[in-house]
Amino acid sequence: MPYARKKMHDGDTHLRRRWRLRNRKKDLDEIDQDLKTKSDQLLNQDVDLDKPGFAQFYCIHCATYYINERAMQDHFKTKVHKRRLKALEDEPYTEKEALQAAGQGSYEPPAKRKMATQPSKSELEAGAKITVELQPDTPKHVKTELSKSKVLNGNYVEILNDLKSK
């Protein structure tokens, strides 16, 4: 009876599983959603003793925890972080764009967005927020139209801010 011996334990699979889950990296489109909808929450996390730095030093763009302020600031200066900001400047690939790339429909390049390193703790406390907005030079026609118009000239800044919030 070669297979009679019953396995009495599961080895360390539960530990491995936990490890895997903890180190699972987020995809760019998940991070995009985080930036759009969960930035307040993610930049102001509850103390979690299982996370590096008790979850108080989180780079939202890279979805990574750091052990302290210094480590996070150092990370902000790295190529990895800067490359990630660049990558997030493009709206994540949508199904429509996938079709266009496959030769169906005309190709429109993804919208460029402003991506800056997250506000510091003190800036956050002062009410700073992460916003995902288009680069100001993207809607070129809007800018020129507005500056040509005498009526709108006075409210230019106000209108542009309004446009940005849409």
What residues line the site for Zn ion (CB under 5 A)? 59, 61-62, 81
Smaller CB distance to Zn ion: residue 86 or 96? 86
C-beta of 61 vs 146, nearer to Zn ion: 61
CB-facing half-sphere around the CA of 155: CA atoms within 13 A: 7
By the 8 A CB rule, do 130 and 39 touch?
A: yes
Q: How far is the CB of 106 from Zn ion (least distance, A)?
A: 34
Phi, psi dihedrals of residue 136, rounded to the nearest 5°: -60, -20
Nearer to Zn ion, 51 or 143 (CB): 51
The nearest distance, CB 89 to Zn ion, in angstroms, is 14
Per-residue DSSP letter, 53: G
Shortest distance, CB of residue 75 to Zn ion, whole angstroms?
5
Q: Write down the least CB distance from residue 135 to Zn ion, Å.
A: 20
Are 43 and 60 in contact by the 8 Å Cβ rule? The answer is yes
Distance CA 63, CA 156 (A): 37
Of 39 and 81, nearer to Zn ion (C-beta) is 81
